[in-house]
Amino acid sequence: MLLEKMLQSQGFGARKHCQQLIKTGAITIHDEVITDPKHKLNLNDLVFAVHGTQYEYREKIYIALNKPKGYECSHQATHHFSVFDLFDDVHLNRGLQCVGRLDQDTTGLLLLTDDGQFLQALTHPKKHVPKVYQMHTADPVTPEQILQLQQGVELRNEKGIFAATGVEALGTHQLQMTVHQGVYHQVKRMLAAVGNKVEQLHRAQIGQLNLTHLNALPEGKWVYLTAEQIALAKYRAE
């Protein structure tokens, strides 16, 4: 791949801007300043620097964010911050998208990518990738509510029955459960359907990927996923 095309693919702007970066000596590869936009590259394990900041070539990007409260999963956030405020223009220029959404008041594991196939694999309704949620409830969690959630509840304006697996009381007002669909406000609506209310909601796991796999990623921070972590996120029980 030509150097100018590589830079463009990595989010460094339009072709003309990338050519300008190269010609002004901003690009370094293996401690050598490259000033030819048509310089041919081997992309395997390519590391390059732009104005002294080092980058790895990534054909696609897969990111895990520990989402803080008060951030919307929208590029045009209206009443709160946007999760995209946590990323620089280089990432945004690549067309970074949220893999599913979390409400502004929900915290926890959020994946982002510029890979449309990966996004589809995790969000398509037929894929049933499990997601583990932990919550604080307004009222004490009862055995009857746990049973109802396991057996399934009806949700207004939705077809079918919505059941959770791994439903477990973590305290008198704390609950953990796994959902396998992805309808709007599903967890909150399921709790309402059994006569309780979610006060705080946290997503702990997607597929088999959880925050412990990410070295207890601090809130508001993000990391690139490894190939192994990507596979964990896509895992679903057959």
Active-site amino acid positions: 103
Across 51-186, the runs of DSSP E, i.e. the strands, are 53-56, 62-67, 71-72, 81-82, 97-98, 106-113, 131-137, 153-154, 161-162, 165-171, 174-179
d(CA 114, CA 99): 10
CA atoms within 13 A on the CB side of 113: 19
For 23, the enclosing helix (H) or strand (E) is: helix 15-23
DSSP 59: S
Cα distances from 62 to residues 45, 120, 127, 160, 191, in angstroms, run 17, 13, 19, 33, 31
How many other CB atoms are found less than 10 A from the CB of residue 44?
Answer: 6
Are 95 and 160 within 8 A, CB to CB?
no
Burial of 222 (0-12, 13-18, 19+ CB in 10 A): buried
Tokens describing residue 49 = 């620097």
